[in-house]
Amino acid sequence: MLSPEERQEIEFELARYPTKRAVCIDALKIVQRHRGWVSDEGLRDIAALLDMSVDELDGVATFYNLIFRQPVGKHVVMVCDSVSCWLTGYERVREELTKRLGVKLGETTADGRFTLLPIVCLGACDRAPVMMVDGDLHPNLDAQKIEGILEKYR
């Protein structure tokens, strides 16, 4: 069941588009913001609200990089693996992250604190290499800075 808050936020978006379906990406993001990810149950509830088939909605959900169809950790670390970051030290940043967190890209730490994901160019190439944690941008990274940044996300 969608919570009253989730339903209210989705209905707010409905006023901005001529079709219900157009809101489905917003709806997926709203549910994810409240629950951390989009479960099969969440998917079914959104589909019912927007008059879509569940499969159709899953086709949309799985297309977009920022919709999580699996549970993620408390904090999501997205490390940019695109070209400007690659040129300026992405590989060392990735090594440091995988070593410190003890997980590979795409995995969640055993304590559920962090999920580590690769992300495409974050549009901060003049400050490369960069990563994003829960929507906060961390620019000009080097291996030494990683520990201090991760410490902030307890």
Partner 1 sequence: MEKVLTKNIEPDMAFRDLKTYEGVGGYQAAREALRLAPTEITEMVKKANLRGRGGAGFPTGLKWSFVPMGSDAPRPKYLVANADEMEPGTFKDRLLMEGDPHQLIEGMIVAAYAIQADVAYIFLRGEYKLSANRLERALAEAYDHHYLGKKILDSDYNLEMYLHTSAGRYMCGDETGLLNALEGKRANPRSKPPFPQTSGLWGKPTIVQNVETLCNVHHIVEHGPEWFRSLSYTEDGGTKLYGVSGKVTHPGLWELPMGTTAREILEDHAGGMRDGLTFRGLLPGGASTDFMVEEHLDLRMDFHEPQKAGSRLGTGTMIVLDDQSCPVGMARNLEHFFAQESCGWCTPCWSGLSWAERILGAMEEGRGEPEDLEHLAFLCNLCAPGHTFCALAPGAVEPLQSALKYFREDFERHIRDKRCPWR
Of residues 9 through 28, those in contact with partner 1 by CB under 8 A are: 16-19, 21-26, 28
Smallest distance from partner 1 to CB 85, Å: 9
Q: Is 133 in the site for partner 1 (CB under 8 A)?
A: no
For partner 1, which residue of 59, 71, 102, 112 counts as binding (CB under 8 A)?
Answer: 59
Determine if 76 is a binding residue for partner 1 (CB under 8 A): no
Considering only residues 93-122, where is the footprint of partner 1 by CB under 8 A?
119-122
Cβ distance to partner 1 smaller for residue 16 or 104: 16
Is 128 a binding residue for partner 1 by CB under 8 A? The answer is yes
Q: Which is nearer to partner 1, 142 or 147 (CB)?
A: 142
DSSP for the chain, please give it: ---HHHHHHHHHHHTTSSSSGGGHHHHHHHHHHHHSS--HHHHHHHHHHTT--HHHHHHHHTTSTT--SS---SEEEEEE-SHHHHHTTHHHHHHHHHHHHT--TT-B-TTSSEEEEEES--S-GGG-S-EEETTEEE-S--HHHHHHHHHT--
- Residue 53 in contact with partner 1, rule: CB under 8 A: no
Give yes or no for residue 55 binding partner 1 (CB under 8 A).
Answer: no
